[in-house]
Amino acid sequence: MPRMIARVVALTEPSPTWIAEGDDGRPLGTASLWIPPAGGPAEVRIRVHPAERRSGVGTRLLQEAARYEGVPALLGEVVAEGSAGDAFCVSAGMRQVLALTYTRLEVVDFDLVGEAVPGYRLVHWEGTVADEIAETFARSRSAMDDMPMDDVDYRPEPWDVARLHRVAAVVAERGDVLLTTAAIGADGEIAGFTEVVLSGDQGQNYGTGVLVPHRGRGLARWLKVAQIAVVRQRFPAVTGLLADTADSNVAMRRVNEALGYRPTHRSRIHQLDRARLS
């Protein structure tokens, strides 16, 4: 039988964390925050022991976390549509701020040929970007700053070469492969890119972006078709590529659908606004 919460212990290191304890001192659940450097909603992660669920532990932890000084709102984790996590978010007073559709492309069935866009050339690399194009690649990352995020208070963090190297290192340490394809214009600047992380027999699309002056020319499709061809050639063990796209990101959804990505499931992200706690 679920135990009543006797107290909630707050910790500040290494990140703001709350532990709900029962009257016997055993932990019932935890909540932790990640506060983005750029500001905006903090990301909250709540974990409750299966035996203690549906007894108010998660809601209490959420309320404690929402009172953390300087945090205007809490952004929940991605939860599957119709799941227990989805139901919890709604019952706890959180509002849906983003809907995502997950899709999969069967690589073995892919036979499209990309049409080259005049004035650009494609480059491919695995892992860390080469020094000679690192700076322009960092600049090109802003192509994703205006991606549709519905009601999420999305505040992009600036990219530099050091951050590019950190991301590549994290992927490599997991034993995965970060494969990037970029389009370079006549001026030597990267105009757009697409990334996929390959792990075992599948890959996860990490992002595709084209800078505003270069949009409407078919670069996104060309980039993705060319990258899929590279995956088939260099990584024959990969059978499927996965993507998650905001429902409001109509342009990218159309590109992926035209390439053969098919829906597998849907998910949601919810937010708790501090003003709603009163």
Tens of pLDDT along 166-188? 999 999 999 999 999 999 999 99
What integer is the mean pLDDT of 181-199? 98
What pLDDT, on the 0 to 100 scale, is given for residue 276? 62
Q: Mean pLDDT for the chain?
A: 94
What pLDDT, on the 0 to 100 scale, is given for residue 62? 95
Local confidence band at 127 (pLDDT 50, 70, 90 cut-offs): very high
Q: Are residues 246 and 191 located together in one domain of the fold?
A: yes
- Whether the per-residue pLDDT at 277 is higher than 70: the answer is no
pLDDT tens digit sequence for 236-271: 999 999 999 999 999 999 999 999 999 999 999 999
Q: Are residues 36 and 151 located together in one domain of the fold?
A: no
SS3 breakdown of the chain: % helix, strand, coil, rounded to 5? 30, 35, 35
Q: Are residues 164 and 272 located together in one domain of the fold?
A: no
In the chain, the number of structural domains is: 2
What integer is the mean pLDDT of 229-236? 96
Alpha helices (H) along the chain: 57-66, 84-91, 131-140, 161-173, 219-234, 250-259
- Whether the per-residue pLDDT at 72 is higher than 80: the answer is yes
pTM of the model: 0.88
Q: Are residues 117 and 184 located together in one domain of the fold?
A: yes
- Whether the per-residue pLDDT at 82 is higher than 90: the answer is yes
Better-scored residue on pLDDT, 143 or 156: 143
Q: Are residues 51 and 183 located together in one domain of the fold?
A: no
Q: Are residues 88 and 113 located together in one domain of the fold?
A: no
- Whether the per-residue pLDDT at 49 is higher than 70: the answer is yes
Q: How many CA atoms lie within 13 A of 9 on its CB side?
A: 12
Q: Are residues 127 and 17 located together in one domain of the fold?
A: no
Q: Are residues 166 and 195 located together in one domain of the fold?
A: yes
Q: Are residues 86 and 204 located together in one domain of the fold?
A: no
62: β partners = none
What pLDDT, on the 0 to 100 scale, is given for residue 144? 96
Q: What is the distance in angstroms between the CA of the first residue and the CA of the last residue of the chain? A: 31
Number of Cβ atoms within 10 Å of the Cβ of 199: 13
Q: Are residues 67 and 149 located together in one domain of the fold?
A: no
What integer is the mean pLDDT of 13-32? 92
Give CA–CA dist 139/160, Å, rounded. 8
Q: Are residues 144 and 235 located together in one domain of the fold?
A: yes
What pLDDT, on the 0 to 100 scale, is given for residue 3? 61
- Whether the per-residue pLDDT at 219 is higher than 90: the answer is yes
Give CA–CA dist 101/124, Å, rounded. 27
Q: Are residues 74 and 121 located together in one domain of the fold?
A: no
- CATH code at position 252: 3.40.630.30
What pLDDT, on the 0 to 100 scale, is given for residue 200? 95
What pLDDT, on the 0 to 100 scale, is given for residue 269? 97
Which range marks the domain in which residue 229 is found? 104-267
What pLDDT, on the 0 to 100 scale, is given for residue 153? 86
